[in-house]
Structures are given as C-alpha cells and as structure tokens.
Amino acid sequence: MANVVVVGAQWGDEGKGKIVDWLSERADVIARFQGGHNAGHTLVIDGEVYKLHALPSGVVRRGKLSVIGNGVVLDPWHLVKEIAGIRAQGVEITPETLMIAENTPLILPFHGELDRARENQNAVAKIGTTGRGIGPAYEDKVGRRVIRVADLADDATLVTRVERALVHHNALRNGLGLEPIDRDALLDSLRDIAPQILPYAAPVWKVLAEKRAQGKRILFEGAQGALLDIDFGTYPFVTSSNVIAGQAATGTGMGPSAVGYTLGIVKAYTTRVGEGPFPTELHDEDGQRLGERGHEFGTTTGRKRRCGWFDACLVRQTCAISGIAGIALTKLDVLDGFETLKICTGYELDGARLDYLPTASDKQARCTPVYEELPGWSETTAGARSWAELPANAIKYVRRVEELIGCPVAMLSTSPERDDTILVRDPFAD
Ligand code: GDP
C-alpha cells in the first residue's frame, strides 16, 4: 500500500491545503511532520471554509486519524483554541481522532517574545518570521532545553525542564532588554494547559507502525515549501525546519521506505512572502495582476505575497531534493487571459548560464532569469475537470512545465473548490 507525502515545491502557499484535503478523503491517517501553527491551510468543503494552522487537514473528515508528529513544534494554548474553533464549526475532535507525539517540543510564550524582539532589532536583515516562536522552539529542541509533551505529565520533570530553559533564556532576555521570565507563572500556566493536551499524547511512531502493518494509507502533510527548507532553501530567509519529503520519516518516526509516493505541490506561477531572493519576481502590471487574480495574501499573516513568472529551474531543483514523483499543478486559472506567459528555464550569472540556483546568497541575488515565452489563452480554465475543457495553449503550457522540470503532472487544480481538479495519476495507487 502506497503512502503519500505532500510537500510544497516552491516558497509555500502553493495550495497544499486543497490537495491535502482531496487526498485525505482517500487516506486513513493524516500526519503533520514539521513546522508549527505558521502553516495556515485553507480548506473549502461544501462551501464551508476551514482555516487550519496547527491541526492536520484530516480533522475535518470523519473517521480519520490525524497525527501531530514529533517534527512539529506545538503551541499548546494555540492548539486548544484552534480545536475549540473547529469544534464550533461542528467538527468532532477526540483522542481517537487526534494524536500528538509525546516527543513533540512545545512552543512557550517566551519563544514568541524572543522571535519578535529579535526580528525588531534585526532591521538590517529581517528573516520575515511570523513571530509565533516557532524558530526559537526549534533552537531549544536542538539546544536540548525544550519542554516536550510527555514532560507535562510529571511535575518534577516539568520543574527541572523549565529551570534548565530559564538559565538560557533569562541570560538572552537580559541582553535583549527583556524582563526575566516569571518561573512560577510559567509553571502554573503549563500545569493548567497540561490536562487539555495530555489526552491526545501518544507514542505516534508505534501507532503509525501498527497502521502500516494493517495496510492503512498514511498521508504526510507538509507545510511551507522546499525553498524555505532550513538546509536547501534560500538561507537565511527560510523556515526553521526541514520541510522536504525526507522529513516525513524523521518527523513522525517511520523509516524512509514507509514514506512512499512524494507529491510536490507547484503553483503555475511563483510567489514568495517576506524577504529573500526571488529571481522571477515581477514589479510590473503582470505581477500586480497575478497577485490580484490569485488573491495572494497570506492566510496566517495577511501579508501581500510577491509574485512572478513560473521558475522551472527552481522547481526542477526542488523536485530532485524532495524526490518528487509527480506534481499537483495549482492555480492554472490565475493565468487565464494573459497574452504571453514566461517561464524561467535557467539563470545568467556573470556571463555564464546556470541550470540551478547556486547556494551563495550574493550569487542568488545576482542571478537573472533566462525566459522562454509561450502564448497565453483568452478562454477560461477556471473550474475545468478534464483535459478536454482546457484551451490548447493551456495544455501546451502544462506540457512544457512537465518537460522543463522533468516531472509529470499527477493532478491539476483549476479553482479553490475541491472537485475542480483534473486527476492524471492517483498518488495512492501503487
Ligand atoms: P497552502 O499553504 O499551500 O495550503 O496554500 P494557501 O491555502 O495559503 O493558498 C492557497 C489559496 O489558493 C487558498 O485560498 C486556496 O483556496 C486557493 N487555491 C488553491 N488551489 C487553487 C486553484 O487551483 N485556483 C485558484 N484560483 N485558487 C486556488
């Protein structure tokens, strides 16, 4: 039985939410394996809009198990609020339908404060974080001073862990001009929240191994996109975790062979939120138009996204790094009505041609895109559910994307509605 990993293959916001939801109907288990509540997936089911941040997309479907894996960092207060909000929309969430890995690190209030304090001081080179403490929580995980879900169950352990974290954080806060952390107030709030989190705590690696042995289908739901990966993204303007498909294994406790088919989500053009290099960025009417037609504003932050032409060179790179077997090409309808479309096939740097984005920041900044032009289409593709409904030039565009990235289109999305999707290959098929 094939399992499926869904990862973003650009800078995030590729429309993963819709595709994950589409696939989650066919899956038995839906697992998050990295990131925090900065994810912000939007799902539209029967006209009802669900905005999920920390919860896996599976929670809005009956009879599925949703899992928050150890690769995630979890803000327990946020989670409790998000659960309450989704429940208010009539969705049932119980320890049978939601499990949180016991070894999941917690985001604490001082992580968010640190995030914001550093970002405000760092006017020279803002990373563009969402200020939710996700980066500092990952730092504490690697620094071996984070508090994990299992620690909430034993008061003596909790006290020791908090004290260990405070030694580091109070020194740091002193340097940043922040007040020291109130140890007792922090412990009290952790003791308060613990009973609301612990019922969901589980040895997720074990549950997943059992599900796999039973032949259940597991969907691994990625957040952000490969160009925001901590190792392979446009560092330092990246997120603080690995987001590529390999992380699905370490972020849940399954071996790499369990991960299965990797579906890369790719927008038919390119967007990016916040700072950092973006070779095909447009500052003209075309860019404006992509942003307006594509409603390119962040779900989590409301920030306007930067927009540009499709960068086949970058997607070829992220397909290789994530081992992407097929892509879901989304938002094709946003390109309706453009007379001419451009696709970036490579870069020029200091007079030489490059077929990949180099690692060094100065080189990334100096890369200029080499474009190929394709004719656009005046007809609409919005809502198309079969190839026959697509204009010939739209099909040519899709075929050219496949050729240039070296990866086939498995799914094609033509509107925010779940069923406005053309299926070429079922990712769950063996
Ligand atoms: P994610 O973080 O990758 O899930 O992406 P977002 O949810 O931030 O952005 C996707 C947005 O685009 C959502 O508002 C979706 O409803 C919408 N969307 C997804 N697929 C399509 C599509 O094929 N066409 C159009 N026009 N909108 C889409």
191-217 pLDDT per residue, tens: 999 999 999 999 999 999 999 999 999
Instruction: Report residue 210 as tokens.
Output: 């059992």
Q: How far away, in angstroms, is 295 Cα from ligand 1 center? A: 9
Q: Is 189 in the pocket of ligand 1 (CB under 6 A)?
A: no
**Atom in ligand 1 nearest the alpha carbon of residue 334:** 26
| Backbone phi, psi, residue 358, to 5° | -65, 165
pLDDT score, position 127: 66
Residue 123 clears pLDDT 80, i.e. is over it:
no
pLDDT score, position 201: 98
Residue 72 clears pLDDT 70, i.e. is over it:
yes
Q: Is 17 in the pocket of ligand 1 (CB under 6 A)?
A: yes
Residue 80 clears pLDDT 80, i.e. is over it:
yes
Q: How far away, in angstroms, is 234 Cα from ligand 1 center? A: 23
Residue 298 clears pLDDT 80, i.e. is over it:
no
| Interatomic CA distance for residues 73 and 137, integer angstroms | 7
**Atom in ligand 1 nearest the alpha carbon of residue 332:** 23
Segment 315-325 shows an average pLDDT of 97
Segment 288-309 shows an average pLDDT of 88
Kindly calculate the radius of gyration of the chain based on its CA atoms and give it in whole angstroms: 22
* DSSP bridge pairs for 67: 31, 99
Instruction: Report residue 67 as tokens.
Output: 């899992």
pLDDT score, position 246: 96
Mean pLDDT, all residues of the chain? 94
pLDDT score, position 300: 62
Q: Is 4 in the pocket of ligand 1 (CB under 6 A)?
A: no
Instruction: Report residue 424 as tokens.
Output: 């070429």
Q: Which of 37, 53, 64, 141 is catalytic?
A: 141
225 alpha carbon, distance to own chain's centre: 6
| Interatomic CA distance for residues 389 and 99, integer angstroms | 42
Residue 112 clears pLDDT 90, i.e. is over it:
yes
pLDDT score, position 131: 83
Cβ count within 10 A of residue 196: 15
pLDDT score, position 136: 96
383 annotated as belonging to a binding site for a ligand: no
SS3 content of the chain, % helix, strand, coil (to 5): 35, 20, 40
**Atom in ligand 1 nearest the alpha carbon of residue 294:** 26
Residue 126 clears pLDDT 80, i.e. is over it:
no
41 annotated as belonging to a binding site for a ligand: yes
Segment 239-251 shows an average pLDDT of 96
Say if residues 264 and 47 touch (Cβ distance below 8 Å): no
Residue nearest to atom 14 of ligand 1 (CA): 42
Q: What is the pTM of this model?
A: 0.94
Q: Is 13 in the pocket of ligand 1 (CB under 6 A)?
A: yes
Say if residues 334 and 413 touch (Cβ distance below 8 Å): no
Summarize pLDDT for 15-69 with one digit per residue, the tens: 988 898 889 989 999 999 999 998 767 777 777 888 889 999 889 888 899 999 9
| Interatomic CA distance for residues 345 and 349, integer angstroms | 14
| Interatomic CA distance for residues 223 and 226, integer angstroms | 9
Q: Is 130 in the pocket of ligand 1 (CB under 6 A)?
A: no
Segment 162-184 shows an average pLDDT of 96
Region of poorest pLDDT, from 122-131, 253-262, 264-273, 366-375: 122-131
Sequence letter at residue 402: E
pLDDT score, position 272: 95
